[in-house]
Homo-oligomer: A and B are copies of this chain.
Amino acid sequence: MRLILVAGTTRTAEIDGITAAGASRELLVHTPSADTEILTYGDTVRAPVTPVSPGGCPTPAVVTRAVRELLGFDVTVVDAGIATPTGAPTVAVGARPGDDIREPDPVRTAPGAFAAARSFGQGLPDDRIVVGETVPGGTTTAMAVLRALGEGPLSATSSSLPENPLGLKRRVVAEAFEASDLNPGQAAHTPELAVRFVGDPVLAVASGVVAGALESGTDVVLGGGTQLLAVAALVRHAGVPTPATLATTPYLAADVPDLGSNAAALDLDLAVADPGFDPSDGGPLAAYTDGVAKEGAGMGGALHLADEAGRLGEVRDATRTVLERVGNDESPASAADDAGRGTEGGS
């Protein structure tokens, strides 16, 4: 068992109001680096901040790490355009940070990175992998990619904000199609072009890894929410029909009522495991139960593994242990100054 975290950036995250409000550009850009370090080492090493949402919700990477400390699975990080130094080891597949999708051709490295990641996925010796993502701003690019593939009906996305900025996301997506002179559905069956023109490098690399792994007979668990749904759509459009599993958190599932049917439409079993974080304990874990930072960094996939191992009940304490180590167990008020989490929860 190996968890593969695909980590990268898109400058789409810098659009005002599209991702967790209050997080500065300087801090957002460190989130993937910090997530990869927390997952690899159990603490930050080179990254200057531990990511938390403006409401004080710690990055889901601490939950994934906590499960890793319980179960001991291997972790491999693939660099899908990380923009700041990370102390975590990463596999290179030629991806560079993605530009704002309102600019033409924002992810020029997508076709090459998709191909290299596919070949890497084919070569993996594992019987089974879990694939997760960390990319601030990623739900907006996921929405755009689903439309480019003609899978618009699947493109409902969630948000950590009290009001999901869906209107803003739709405007950004519309501008992206205009900037790259693309029409919805025009990239059907050419996933690498959908990602290149309106996506982000994490979608390119994650779909490449998943396509390659499925092609070589590896079982795949997609650990995440709507971004991993977009990954599955890309894999289907790459001509790989093998079923897989979508494992997500109860917080994400509660926010996307159509998730089950959307997953089924892509031949994915849906798995949802509840870590039992207590809304009444007032600590940082309560923020998850409030629907903040619902998913990310493979959290849903990790919870699924803990559930399979019959150890879901130990995740809460294990997460607290990791939180104490990363020094992120302050009150929401003090943590709010630190950083912003921009994947599912914040974008």
Contacts and interface: CB of A to CB of B under 8 A. Distances in A.
Interface of A: 40-46, 72, 76-78, 85-92, 119-120, 123-126, 325
B87 A120 contact: yes
Contacts of A126: 41
21 contacts: A40-B76, A41-B126, A43-B125, A45-B120, A45-B123, A45-B124, A46-B119, A46-B120, A46-B123, A76-B89, A77-B89, A78-B89, A86-B91, A87-B91, A87-B120, A88-B91, A89-B89, A89-B91, A90-B90, A90-B91, A125-B325
Nearest to A43: B125
A316 to B, nearest CB: 22
Nearest to A124: B45
A72 to B, nearest CB: 6
Nearest to A122: B45
A-B interface, 5 closest residue pairs, ranked by CB to CB distance from nearest: A89-B89, A45-B123, A43-B125, A89-B91, A89-B90
A58 to B, nearest CB: 17
A78 B85 CA distance: 13
A339 B85 CA distance: 34
A88 B89 CA distance: 8
Contacts of A76: 40, 89
Contact of A125 (B45, B78, B92): B45
A319 to B, nearest CB: 17
Contacts of A43: 125
**Among the interface residues A42, A77, A92, which one has the most CB atoms of the partner chain B within 10 A?**
A92
A82 to B, nearest CB: 10
B125 A41 contact: yes
A120 B88 CA distance: 10
Nearest to A120: B87
A87 B79 CA distance: 11
Given A42-B125, A45-B120, A77-B89, 19 more contacts: A41-B125, A41-B126, A43-B125, A44-B123, A45-B123, A45-B124, A46-B119, A78-B89, A85-B92, A86-B91, A87-B91, A87-B120, A87-B123, A88-B89, A88-B91, A89-B90, A90-B91, A90-B92, A125-B325
